[in-house]
Structure 1
Amino acid sequence: MTRHGTSKDQQLARLRRVEGQVRGIARMVEEDTYCIDVLTQVSAASRALQAVALGLLDDHLAHCVVEAARAGGPEQLAKLREANEAIARLVRS
């Protein structure tokens, strides 16, 4: 999965931090923490997930898409379309 740039271990560490953030947000909601403070933490968790997504996308482009482009043919078009759709999903989120 993550062959270039961010390592698999780095991505997993980021995801564990996000998981901790989300648990913290749940505690804040349970404890009736001031809404703006909760929203601030939700925003931070969202940015952290976006960083993970961008790292994964970077790895995908650097490896899978480049390899498919070298191979050419239908695989190239499929990988480019797949990457384009992933980028579109990230932009919409």
Structure 2
Amino acid sequence: MSAGDIGLVMSAYFAGAAAGSVWSPGVIMAVGHIRAFAAFASMTSAVALVYALHISVSGWLVLRFLNDFCYAAMIVVVESWLNASTPSRSR
């Protein structure tokens, strides 16, 4: 594995974070906070288990993207859920 391959795999993590924070509000509006959080948490744990099955640069590139996509989406779900349930005077 070259340094360029390592860089690609590492950058996929942050690309997933950016994509997850942009696309997750649409999922939240479509299915709600509880279902969105459950789906993203389930996918995050499933992706973590698949790492051992795919030991290749391309496989880990996709897995790293999906891992942080779902992680960032979970953060957006929690933040928006708290923001929606907190009254304006308490912020």
When normalised by structure 1's length, the TM-score is 0.47
* Higher RCO structure (Cα 8 Å, ≥6 apart): 2
Larger Rg: 1
When normalised by structure 2's length, the TM-score is 0.48
